[in-house]
Chains A and B, each alone.
Chain A
Amino acid sequence: MSVREVLRRLGPALGLVATWTLFALLAGGKFTSWSNHELMLLQTAVVGTAAVGATWIIVSGGIDLSVGATIALGTMVIASLVRDGMPAWLAALAGIATGALIGAGIGALVVGELGRVAGVALGIAVGAWLAKTSGAALGLAVGAVVAVAAALLFRRLLGRVELSPFIVTLGLWGALRGLAKGLGDNQPVYAQSPESMATMSGLSGLMSVDKGVLLPTGVWILVAVATLAAVAMRYSVFGRHVFALGSNEETARLCGLRVERTKVLVYTLAIACAGVAAVLQTSYLSMGDPTTAQGYELKVIAAAVIGGASLSGGQGSIAGTLVGALIMTVVDNGCTKLGMDNWVQELVTGAIIVAAVALDRLRARSTDA
Chain B
Amino acid sequence: MAGIAKRYGATVALGGVDLEARAGEVLALVGENGAGKSTLMKVLAGAVVPDAGEMRLDGTPYRPRGPAEARRAGVAMIYQELSLAPHLSVAENVLLGCEPRRGIFVDRGALCARARQALAQVGRAELDLELRVGALGPADAQLVEIARAVALDAKVLVLDEPTSSLGREDVARLFALVRKLRASGVAIVYISHALEEVMELADRAVVLRDGVSVASFERAELSAQKLVAAMVGREVSELYPRSDSRVGEVIARVNSLTGVRRPKNASLELRRGEVLGVAGLIGAGRTELLRAIFGLDRVVSGELKVLALEGARTPGERWRQGVGMASEDRKREGLALARPIAENLCLPRLDRVARGGWTTPNRIEDAAREWIAKLGVKCASAAQPVGQLSGGNQQKVALARLLYCDADVLLLDEPTRGVDVAAKAEIYRLIDELARGARPRAVLVVSSYLPELFGICDRIAVMARGELGLARAVEELDEEAVMFEAAGGVR
Contacts and interface: CB of A to CB of B under 8 A. Distances in A.
Closest 8 CB pairs of A and B: A256-B316, A247-B336, A256-B315, A250-B333, A248-B336, A255-B348, A255-B347, A237-B350
Nearest to A315: B338
A315 B360 CA distance: 17
Contacts of B359: 235-237, 240
Interface of B: 9, 294, 296, 314-320, 325, 327, 332-339, 343-344, 347-348, 350-351, 354, 357-361, 364, 388, 401
Main secondary structure of the interface of B (DSSP, over half): helix
Contacts of A255: 315, 319, 347-348, 401
B381 to A, nearest CB: 10
B360 A314 contact: no
Contacts of B360: 234-235
Contacts of B343: 240, 243-244
28 contacts: A234-B360, A234-B361, A240-B343, A240-B347, A240-B350, A240-B364, A241-B347, A243-B339, A244-B339, A247-B339, A248-B335, A248-B336, A248-B337, A250-B327, A250-B333, A253-B333, A254-B294, A254-B315, A254-B333, A255-B348, A256-B318, A257-B347, A258-B316, A314-B339, A315-B338, A368-B9, A368-B388, A369-B9
B337 A247 contact: yes
Given A251-B335, A253-B296, A257-B316, 6 more contacts: A248-B335, A250-B333, A251-B333, A254-B294, A254-B325, A256-B348
A67 B320 CA distance: 38
A238 interface: yes
Interface of A: 234-238, 240-241, 243-244, 247-248, 250-258, 314-315, 368-369
A247 B348 CA distance: 15
A314 B338 contact: yes
A189 B19 CA distance: 78
A252 to B, nearest CB: 7
Contacts of A254: 294, 296, 315, 325, 327, 333-334
A234 B383 CA distance: 14
Given A243-B343, A244-B347, A255-B347, A314 B336 contact: yes
Contacts of B318: 256
A235 B336 CA distance: 19
Contacts of B364: 240
A243 B342 CA distance: 13
Nearest to A251: B336
A41 B105 CA distance: 56
Q: Report which residue of B294, B315, B318, B320 has the largest number of chain A beta carbons within 10 angstroms of its beta carbon.
A: B315
Contacts of A241: 347, 350
B357 A237 contact: yes
A251 B348 CA distance: 10
Contacts of A247: 336-339
A368 B7 CA distance: 12
Nearest to B314: A256
Contacts of A250: 327, 332-333
A248 B339 CA distance: 9
A257 B344 CA distance: 12
A254 B294 CA distance: 9
Contacts of B332: 248, 250
Nearest to B326: A254
A240 B343 CA distance: 8
A345 B318 CA distance: 55
Q: Report which residue of B314, B347, B357, B358 has the largest number of chain A beta carbons within 10 angstroms of its beta carbon.
A: B347
A360 to B, nearest CB: 13
Contacts of A252: 336, 347
Contacts of A248: 332-333, 335-337, 339
Contacts of A244: 336, 339, 343-344, 347
A235 B356 CA distance: 11
A244 B345 CA distance: 11
Nearest to A232: B358
Q: Report which residue of B318, B332, B335 has the largest number of chain A beta carbons within 10 angstroms of its beta carbon.
A: B335
B235 to A, nearest CB: 36
Contacts of B316: 256-258
A236 to B, nearest CB: 5
A353 to B, nearest CB: 22
Q: Report which residue of B327, B333, B360 has the largest number of chain A beta carbons within 10 angstroms of its beta carbon.
A: B333
Nearest to B357: A237
B347 A253 contact: no
Contacts of B350: 237, 240-241
A235 B363 CA distance: 10
Contacts of A240: 343, 347, 350, 359, 364
A302 B333 CA distance: 30
B397 to A, nearest CB: 11
Contacts of B347: 240-241, 244, 251-252, 255, 257
A238 B350 CA distance: 9
Q: Report which residue of A250, A257, A369 has the largest number of chain B beta carbons within 10 angstroms of its beta carbon.
A: A250
A95 B53 CA distance: 67
A13 B337 CA distance: 26
Nearest to B361: A234
Contacts of B319: 255-256
A256 B357 contact: no
B68 to A, nearest CB: 24
Contacts of A368: 9, 388
A244 B348 CA distance: 10
Contacts of B337: 247-248
A237 to B, nearest CB: 5
Nearest to A248: B336
A346 to B, nearest CB: 32
A247 B314 CA distance: 21
Contacts of B294: 254
Nearest to B353: A237
Nearest to B354: A237
B338 A253 contact: no
Contacts of A369: 9
A145 to B, nearest CB: 31
A237 B325 CA distance: 21
A257 B320 CA distance: 12
B334 A251 contact: yes
A238 B327 contact: no
A286 to B, nearest CB: 40
B473 to A, nearest CB: 31
A27 B318 CA distance: 63
A257 to B, nearest CB: 7
Contacts of A315: 338
A369 B318 CA distance: 39
Contacts of B296: 253-254
A244 B318 CA distance: 19
B295 to A, nearest CB: 8
Contacts of A256: 314-320, 348
A237 B358 CA distance: 6
